[in-house]
A and B are shown apart, each in its own frame.
Chain A
Amino acid sequence: MSAKTSFDSKRRAPETGVPFQGASLELRNLSLAYGQIQVVRDMSLTVRPGTTTCIIGPSGSGKSTLLRGVNRLHEPASGDILVGGRSVLDDPPDALRRRVGMVFQHFNLFPDHTALDNVALAPWHVKGKGRKAARHLAMERLRDVGLEERSEHRPRDLSGGQQQRVAIARALAMEPEIMLFDEATSALDPELVKGVLDLMAGLGASGMTMLVVTHEMGFAKKVADQVVFMDEGEVVEVGEPERLFNDPQSPRLQRFLSEVL
């Protein structure tokens, strides 16, 4: 493990020595529904600050919906969400979303904007930084993800892996306390997956609190502090990766692992 980091210097919190100060995340009996149909039922989960939690499970199990519930892109039907120990359901959703970055499976970059403007847009228009300051910040984040030289490229002139790294830089530019990844590597060509996963692992190691929905079991095994196995909208099993992967308790997880490993 190399100790060098470009997330350091100014962003490094002096007392802890980590570049990010991730907040804790707690879900209490969270339920999410589409109309009458409950997609996530009574979910409780605690993510300690600066740790990475991977959510695994078969498709349709409610993983992505759960993630979208955390930043209220999908409004919870019941239950509570606490960031840094404080409930966020009474605040406007936009206030929560400024603290929680999200990375999507299909990147969702803005095609009319350059990589730099993709990253600078929210700091400029949402955080109210000046245009110049926002672009400066955006350039730093692009440098963090190794795309400084592609700053003037539009998304269509970037590979999937590069686009996803721009998307990560875009989320980081808002200086989030928590990062959500929704199958961030599922749409990538195989040789580009590792680069994005490495970048994510780096963020985790630098103190970011991360909730990662993934099909990359290798990533979950090596990087996660905690793995959640979801099926049919419920948490079936939670544990440290070693325990969960080597000694699955529930038949459903055993079955799932036998299919994917």
Chain B
Amino acid sequence: MDALETLSRTFLDFGAMVQVLPQLLRVGLLNTLIISVSATVIGIVLGMLLAICSISPTRWLRLPARAFTDLFRGLPAILTILLIGQGLARFSQEIFGPSPYPLGIFALSLISSAYIGEIFRAGIQSVEKGQLEACRALGMGYARAMALVVVPQGIRRVLPALVNQFIAIIKDSSLVYFLGLLVGERELFRVGQDAAVLSGNLSPLVAAGVFYLIITVPLTHLVNFIDERFRSGRRKATAPTSGLKEIEEMDNGVAVNTPAGVGH
């Protein structure tokens, strides 16, 4: 029984959890959301740019986009965050002041843009070639055809993957703590960890974990919901109909000169 009690005191000390709760809510949750949402928004903008470059007919757009994607998708997130957070600190200081917070967001944005760019690229490339062709046949330029017809379809198809990516970013946002955040800038993990160190008890970290789950679990279900919905479409079940009705419809609606008995 001793072991069980020790475990429960280590992980489930409600007193310690309640104590850290206000900070988790007011500081940790807020910062986690600020970091992940900004990194996702910037990542979506950069990612779209990357996707468009990487499918461009122009090699000089394609190659840099590929290199960028390979680099930031291939490196461990922590390495990128440290290199950027510390390496660019001097430049960032002039703009944002001493806090590494903006650089953390920037590093996460670069990482997420590499993934999101690939998601967008896959989505756009999954749109049938006939769509672009139909646009071109109507006299639309490439850029306009992509913007009006192809890209929106591609985005819609990858919404579930985008939500997944957002979940990954939320979790990765905990890595920003390596840059040494100010007290008011700490995200969920750091708040939990600080409290755990102070109290010599892991329960505050467990509480932080619960907060992550509160955000991520509903999102995973949202993914499933979106996925389901888009796979089955919004098409409502309809009563059986007849192709013959359609022929009547033609007869009523169309009044073009029609040579009798064309076709069959």
List the interface of chain A (C-beta within 8 A of B).
1-7, 71, 73, 93-95, 97-98, 100-102, 104, 106, 108-112, 121-122, 125-126, 143-149, 156-157, 159, 161-162, 165, 167, 170-171, 174, 189-195, 197-199, 201-203, 205-206, 216, 218-219, 222-223
Contacts and interface: CB of A to CB of B under 8 A. Distances in A.
Given A2-B257, A126-B140, A174-B138, A157 B130 contact: no
Interface string B133-165: 110111111001000110011001000000000
22 contacts: A1-B260, A93-B136, A94-B140, A98-B139, A102-B134, A108-B131, A110-B153, A161-B246, A167-B134, A171-B138, A174-B139, A190-B264, A191-B247, A194-B262, A195-B250, A197-B262, A199-B250, A199-B254, A199-B256, A199-B258, A202-B254, A202-B257
A109 to B, nearest CB: 8
Contact of A216 (B137, B152, B260, B263): B263
Given A1-B258, A112-B153, A144-B256, A194 B136 contact: no
B239 to A, nearest CB: 13
Contacts of A112: 149, 152-153, 156
Nearest to B249: A146
A159 B244 CA distance: 12
B140 A146 contact: no
Contacts of B249: 146-147, 149
Contacts of B260: 1
Contact of A191 (B138, B243, B257): B243
A177 to B, nearest CB: 13
Contact of A198 (B131, B244, B258): B258
Contacts of A143: 253
A108 B130 contact: yes
A156 B233 contact: yes
Q: Which of B130, B137, B246, B249 has the most CB of A within 10 A?
A: B137
Contacts of A122: 138-140
Given A125-B144, A197-B262, A5 B255 contact: yes
B261 interface: yes
A109 B131 CA distance: 7
Contact of A6 (B131, B136, B141, B254): B254
Given A102-B137, A170-B138, 20 more contacts: A2-B257, A4-B257, A73-B136, A125-B148, A126-B144, A144-B256, A149-B249, A161-B246, A165-B250, A191-B243, A192-B243, A193-B263, A193-B264, A194-B247, A195-B246, A197-B262, A198-B258, A198-B262, A199-B250, A223-B262
Nearest to A96: B139
A73 B133 CA distance: 7
Judged by DSSP, the binding face of A is: helix
Given A94-B139, A108-B133, A191-B243, A7 B259 contact: no
Contact of A159 (B141, B152, B246): B246
Contact of A73 (B137, B148, B259): B137
A242 to B, nearest CB: 15
A157 B134 CA distance: 20
Most buried by B among A111, A174, A223: A111
Interface in B227-246: 233, 235, 243-244, 246
Contact of B254 (A144, A162, A171): A144
Nearest to B243: A191
A76 B230 CA distance: 40
A206 to B, nearest CB: 6
B156 A1 contact: no
B128 interface: yes
Nearest to B254: A146
B252 interface: yes
A104 B253 CA distance: 23
Contacts of B134: 102, 104, 108-110, 167
